[in-house]
Structure 1
Amino acid sequence: MSDASASLPLAARIAGIAPPPTQRPRTARLDGTRFALLSWLVPLTIVLVWEAAARAGLLSLQVLPAPSRVLRTALDLIAEGRLVSDMGVSLLRAAVGFVIGGSIGFVLGTLVGFSRLAEALLDRSIQMVRAIPFLALLPLVIVWFGVDEGGKIFLVALGVAFPIYINTVLGIRQVDPKLIELGRVIGLDNWALVRRIVLPGALPSILTGVRYALATAWLALVVAETIATTSGIGFLAMDAREFLRTDVIVLAIVVYALIGMSADAITRTLERRLLAWHPNFSKSTA
């Protein structure tokens, strides 16, 4: 057995999945670069059309300021130190909430995925809580946590837990039973079976849940930062609303979008590294 094959998860080796080539052909890399550049064509076109419409007077400053004005506002706020500070606060809230909610979602998803008893005891209650909108919880969160950081982190953790929970359960249930049976035949104990077959097989679904959870984390954070607060990107937008600073509001939206896009790109890179043994992910150029 080659060193490359030995490093694959057992689930991949049993299924007969060959290791990916150590280096993609030059033409494949060039195609990947072209597609990456092409993916920016539509966003850049929208920004240019937006700028032209604003300069031509088709868009009012109070309705939608030009991208150049939003950029100047961003530079001014960075010079003041305000934008960086508020971004840091929002990122910290999102990170803490993501770790807490993601851990809870993964543990519960693993329990329910492996145990029908756990599913009977937990799944219905979890699905009922998942159906509650964030805005409906705001009054109760204020009663529970006041306007401290705990309430904001709670909302983020709550939103993150469900996508990871659902995709963890789905991933575990979709592992091929023949692989599990073959693992038992070759003498794997329960822990080795989980570690070397079930979790690697469920990993694509779990990482998809992480991507959904990151998007939900920012949605929950926007809602959370409407609670009385004095810092964060959400506060920056709410404060700008009071003074009709549309440029600052648009800037806050753009910052949320850029952070979310960056987090998604990190997750996709993680997918390609952790799932290099999987043919569908080893060919990905995204």
Structure 2
Amino acid sequence: MALKDRLATPKKGFFGKLKEMLLGKAIDDELYEELEELLIQSDIGMKMTMQLVEELEKQVSRNKLKTSEAVYDQLKELLREKLISNNSSDESSGVKIKDGELNIILVVGVNGVGKTTSIGKIANQLKNKGKKVIIGAGDTFRAAAIEQIEEWGKRTGIEVVKQAQGSDPAAVIFDAVSTAKNRNFDVVILDTAGRLHNKKDLMKELEKINKIIRQQSGQEKFETLLVIDSTTGQNGLEQARVFNEIVELTGIILTKFDGTAKGGIIFPISEELKKPIKFIGVGEGIEDLKEFNVKEFVEAMFD
């Protein structure tokens, strides 16, 4: 199924309303006020909304745009530029695997965002590309999390390093990285417990995990991906801010994007954090976590 079909809900929602609101209208203060309201309602947020509308007004004046159709095209271009500034314009993001060394992917996020499922899907993608992949079941707080990772391991034929529920998560991470390094795996993907971004003790634990990864692997830099549920809106942006301060994110996974009628959150997350969107979730199937591609996304949303 084409991406535009997968994203029918957000396309009819925010993006559809945007087109409907702008086309055929007079270019006046009332139009800009309506636009501001729609952008804020669509999870773009106050800060970015004001920036966008201000830029749009300048462009309309500078380019002497006379029709609402031209204004719509100009706004579409501004939104596209926001994504391009932090994502490659002509290729998919995903994770870039370096040959001849261990590639580490640490996955973080709050509870219920689809973190473990995303890990299973990414692991499957990398295995299908011929990579030797292992998963570390670092969420030891929930027995269900360990079982879920094990199930993904069985489903995809990928080995899982685990310990009993309640074990020190850092010990599991240590074992997983050591195993991957000693047995020449290409990629180790590390799960972590879902944690609220405002719980200092759990965030402190992430700092410990980061330290262990660096010590055990000898690598200062590695992929750290934050999973955000697209339907949580501006709360997702706040999560991203806090996690980025703790673990230095390298990218974002936006899950459940096909299920939101808003969808505007993709713009402030990309723009404010200056981090690429690595993957976008567009369904429940094993192949429905897609490497993010700006060109494909913009065409699917606006065409």
Q: TM-score, normalised by structure 2?
A: 0.26
Name the larger-Rg structure. Answer: 1
